A and B are shown apart, each in its own frame.
Chain A
Amino acid sequence: MKGSNKKNYIMTGVLLLIGIVFILPLVMMISGSLKTIGEINSAHFSLFPKVPQFHNYIDAIQQGMWIRWIFNSLYVTFLATVISLLLNLMAGYAFARLNFPGKGIMFTLALTGLLMPPQVTLAPMYIMMSNFPLVGGNNLFGDGGTGFINTYSGLIIPFIAGSFGVFLARQFYLGFPSSLDDSSRIDGCNRLQTFFKIYLPLSKPLIASLGIIKATFTWNQYAWPLVITNSPKMRTVQLALDIFKGEDFVEWNLLLAATTFVALPLLLMFLKWQDAFIQVNASSGTKG
């Protein structure tokens, strides 16, 4: 056994080399964002800029409404994550620990939602959100106004109901000893108090990992924000990249600076909490 645990340094080195080539696009994104436009357009390619042009980031942000777009994305990501986490944890606890009529059918229906990709409901979701009754000037029948178009609620609401978090929470709570419920019952707590006073404070690891995944998922959304917003003020960062790219003359260094701005926070979060990222994603099908 001891002999077989000896490291194969050559193979490890080869794999590390392949791994570095694998992330070269990310390295080039960052290094390209620090080049001058002259270096980008030069016929001689060099991996790194001669002098890092940090002002590219300021120049890129000053085009369009990047401050507003970053705020929009942060706001939508924060609210969608917090609300969705709370609802997922509550439901996960009820599915794990409580008996109630209709539990089986609700659980089965939620199960079918697991593999449902959001893109497939793009058109009917838009119809519903734009014709939502009593919202955005709409009457009781959903006519007359613009519904959830160009609103923060429109950007947030479709991402609240994800059923993946419910399954993860249920799985997490099934691992708790049921004596926890019995003792809280003896102490006179009802089930709501048991969840909020006992289970919720013990859920920090779940909140952290599920929260990271939900936040990444919401931050990275593209298709839904594309259809539910059309006012430049309500765009999110992913849409902003798409628009920025669509300008007739592409200044790649500035575009790459904006791209790095959108991608780097996630990459840094991943480096810090890699286990949470990888474990939760390993148990999920859809991204998020």
Chain B
Amino acid sequence: MASSKGKFSKDAKDAYILVLPFFVFFAVFILIPVFNILRFSFTKYDLFSKPAFVGLHNFKFMLNDPVFLQSLRNTLIYTTFTVLPVLFFGFIIANLLNNRTIGAKRTLRVLFYMPYVPSMVSMAVVWMWFYDPITGIFNHLLTALNLPPQSWLSDPNLALPSIIAVGIWQQIGYAMVIYLAGLQMVPYSMYEAADIEGAGPLRKMVSITIPMVKETTFFLVVVLIIRSFNVFGQVNVMTSGGPLNRTTTIIHQVYLRAFSDFRFGYASSMSFIVLLIVGFITILNFKYGRTAHEREQ
């Protein structure tokens, strides 16, 4: 690119003027906090006195902290039962919308994507109304069907599934849009060839569509798992982690330990666990994403 040595350094100076404003903000407000998670994980830190090094104490404590273990369990349940349905329904709807015999595609795409647009807090509030034991639509429906009404968000067995339902509903449209983009990459001629060989719709789905959108699926799995591991807002808004800690999640525990108990060291060590999981999934993503990309070329 550079025509001469002198030109290059002049360009480099301009390049730094363009890049550094972004990069300084990125380094200070993203990289340093990530590094500090690691640093504070090994300390006792209440904000009022200097952080005191305690070695692995926080991590040992965590293994015997029933509330943390419960939050880990809840987070895993939330993740599994959010990611799988979102993937499944997103894939099915995207395939239906990709079908040439279906009309009104723009309208359909808008309808399914719409729940993803407003904030999680506002949708959580609306669903709290649906779950309201007296005025909520779900108990109206149960009563109409002569079934006993439920106290959705305060029943230990129903609270987490009730929160999961909101997460699924909000994210199906997102998965659908990503799958629609992925399906554009599948050449129509492959389906025509399969038609000639007499393959049915199910056979085409299993032998052509699913393998062809494998990368899209992988991307979605990564993104959805990372998001689910960081679920916090709907929990704090809808149940505050209750009843009996049955809906508290790891990030919700981070929030409580740091901002109610001022145990910033312990909170950081919990964030560190989330960071490890996110890091592991990110590495998988780069590894598989890249090899898949190279294979294409």
A interface, CB within 8 angstroms of B:
4-9, 11-12, 15-16, 19-20, 22-23, 25-26, 28-29, 32, 40-41, 45, 87-88, 90-91, 93-95, 98-101, 103, 106, 109-110, 112-113, 115-117, 119-128, 130, 157-158, 160-161, 163, 166, 190-192, 195, 216, 219-220, 222-223, 226-227, 238, 241-242, 245, 250, 252, 255-256, 259, 262-263, 266-267, 270-271, 274, 277-278, 281-282, 285-287
Pick out which of these stretches binds chain A: B9-17, B59-67, B78-86.
B9-17
- Residue contact A100 to B11, C-beta cutoff 8 Å: yes
Chain B contact residues: helix, strand, loop or mixed: helix
8 A/B residue pairs, CB under 8 Å, sorted by A: A5-B100, A91-B22, A98-B1, A110-B26, A124-B36, A124-B37, A245-B237, A262-B119
With both beta carbons as reference points, the residue of chain B lying nearest to A25 in the complex is identified as B126
How many chain B residues touch A (CB < 8 A): the figure is 100
- Residue contact A16 to B104, C-beta cutoff 8 Å: yes
Q: Which residues of chain B are near A125, meaning CB under 8 Å? A: 29, 33
B interface, CB within 8 angstroms of A:
1-2, 8, 10-12, 14-19, 21-23, 25-34, 36-37, 40, 45, 47, 96-97, 99-104, 106-123, 125-130, 132, 134-135, 137, 140, 169, 172, 174, 177-178, 180-181, 219, 222-223, 226-227, 229-230, 232-233, 236-237, 251, 254-255, 258-259, 264, 267-268, 271, 274-275, 278, 281-282, 285
Measured CB to CB, the closest approach of chain B to A122, in angstroms, equals: 6
With both beta carbons as reference points, the residue of chain B lying nearest to A275 in the complex is identified as B106
With both beta carbons as reference points, the residue of chain A lying nearest to B272 in the complex is identified as A120
- Residue contact B127 to A25, C-beta cutoff 8 Å: yes
Q: Which residues of chain A are near B255, meaning CB under 8 Å? A: 122, 223, 226-227
Q: Which residues of chain A are near B237, meaning CB under 8 Å? A: 222, 242, 245
Measured CB to CB, the closest approach of chain B to A172, in angstroms, equals: 15
With both beta carbons as reference points, the residue of chain A lying nearest to B110 in the complex is identified as A274
- Residue contact B18 to A93, C-beta cutoff 8 Å: yes
